Amino acid sequence: MPDVGEGLTEAEILKWFVQPGDTVTDGQVVCEVETAKAAVELPIPFDGVVHELRFPEGTTVDVGQVIISVRTGADAAQAPAAAPAPAAAAAPVAAAPEAEATPGARQPVLVGYGVSTASTKRRPRKGVPAASSVPAASSVAAATASAAVPVQAPALNGNGGNGFAGHGHGQAVAERPLAKPPVRKLAKDLGIDLAAIVPTGDGGVVTREDVHAAATAALAPQPVAPVAETVTAPQAALARAAVAQAAPDARETRIPVKGVRKVTAQAMVSSAFTAPHVTEFITLDVTRTMKLVQELKDDPDMAGLRINPLLLIAKAVLIAISRHPDVNASWDEAAQEIVLKHYVNLGIAAATPRGLIVPNIKDAHAKTLAELSRGLSDLVGTARDGKTSPSDMQGGTVTITNVGVFGVDTGTPILNPGEAAILAVGAIKPQPWVHKGKVKARQVTTLALSFDHRLIDGELGSRFLADIAAVLEHPKRLVTWS
């Protein structure tokens, strides 16, 4: 499992596109994985025959673990197709002999260039015999030796409190439990004591499944109909329906929180309790803007472009930022500095089956209306397909969330972490409005601006929001204020 994004430590295998016995070529996509930020397709860097898929779909795998092995070169011709490797056999071939790296040469990995030559094999746990040494068959397997080399899993032991079958070693292990950093963080977040868990991983390592099992035992004394670990976020509704059919008397259903939904929850909690939020509202007449939208749709120069109110709202936000550049900033807690951004990466909150994501249009401030339209179209289409890359969601400066598409009048949005402001756009609908001294039906909406009060005081936030409204009320300012 490669590191498919900065700072990511794990990914869930959503779908395998190959099976044991299939022929693969260098660069062919073999699986799709979901990280905490997006769904990513992984290519294979070898030509050969798939020998083994190490994990089924729906499994969450730590970065660095071997997930697939491929027979290459002469091995591919000699080995019977789809023959699974026996449990006690040597590690499967993950790369051709000719692919062995020479000193200083590039070593093939699924994503990126080069792998660490240092051994990652764990120190043996005291009281547990080390597994027999098996040479790694390739540079990929060598880089992840602890995952690639089969190790006999410790059996449960009912004699005393040891928890292992250790060839006569029955004494209790008093040292710090072995677990990877992501597993330790998970246990900390769930309030689980690692020392109280019976490890089931290779070499006495506590796995995330062990932690989840301990958390379930602590929180659910009564049996609850479980949701299979293979359920992914897009399948959550189907999972709920399936569980309801399987257990009609069940009073609760538990759905694992992982992937995008998990990181979104963590980010929102962090943002809500670290940045002092202030929200201001303004209700305005956007009848002229709606007329301009229709005129742009009929304009031959804009043919083929996606023209909608969000496009002009985005442009209004960019113009308001140009008039109030201090809004486009972030707070550096470590350095105790305000970081002013001289570029605008405009984020657009998108609801997807995997959860809420906020990809952004890079350097939106420098784009024409047509370029901004193309950027919005690409962003929305990619998000709906679940193909948004982690880089598209990094570096945002200001965000727009359009809750009006759901018929909602307004809301109090939570800041995207690292940003100073977020604008919520409410539903646009006919309402009674005083226009030129008479009450008429006009197209009206409500905008809500949440901002970080450490960076933006009440005056600046009010002027910024008022300028956005002024542009939308009189869209000729798209030209005069540019």
> What tens digit of pLDDT does each residue of 247-302 get?
677 788 887 877 767 777 777 787 887 888 999 999 999 999 999 999 999 999 99
Q: Where are the domains of the chain?
A: 10-148, 261-480
- Across 133-151, average pLDDT: 35
Identified catalytic residue from 169, 212, 453, 474: 453
C-alpha closest to that of 69 among 21, 135, 120, 102 = 21
pLDDT of 361: 95
Write down the pLDDT at residue 247.
62
Choose from 31-45, 81-95, 182-196, 350-364 the range with maximum mean pLDDT.
350-364
CA-nearest of 141, 88, 93 to 116 is 141
The pair of structure tokens assigned to 410 is: 């307004």
Write out the CATH class of domain 10-148: mainly beta
Question: 128-132, 278-282, 305-309, 396-400 — which is least confidently predicted?
Answer: 128-132
Question: Per-residue pLDDT tens for 357-387?
Answer: 899 999 999 999 999 999 999 988 888 777 8
Q: Which long-range contacts (CB under 8 A, 24 or more apart) does 324-327 make?
A: 324/460, 324/463, 324/464, 324/467, 326/455, 326/456, 326/460, 327/398, 327/420, 327/421, 327/451, 327/455, 327/456, 327/460, 327/461, 327/464
> What mean pLDDT do residues 397-419 have?
93
Could you tell me the pLDDT band of residue 448, with boundaries at 50, 70 and 90?
Answer: very high
The pLDDT of 57-73, averaged and rounded, is: 86
Q: Which of 159-168, 222-231, 272-281, 351-360 has the highest mean pLDDT?
A: 272-281
- Residues of the chain above pLDDT 90, percent: 38
**Into which CATH architecture does domain 261-480 fall?**
2-Layer Sandwich (3.30)
Contact 112, 3 (CB under 8 A): yes
Both structure tokens of 181: 């950093």
Q: What average pLDDT score do residues 296-314 get?
A: 94
The residue among 396 and 253 whose pLDDT is bigger is 396
In this model, does residue 116 exceed pLDDT 60? no
The strands making up 60-62's β-sheet, listed across from edge to edge, are 39-43, 29-34, 10-16, 60-62
In the DSSP assignment, the letter for residue 133 is: P
* C-alpha neighbours within 13 Å on the C-beta side of residue 56: 6
- pTM score, whole prediction: 0.55
Residue 79 pLDDT > 90:
no
Which residue's structure tokens are 């009281």?
127
Q: Is 453 a catalytic residue?
A: yes
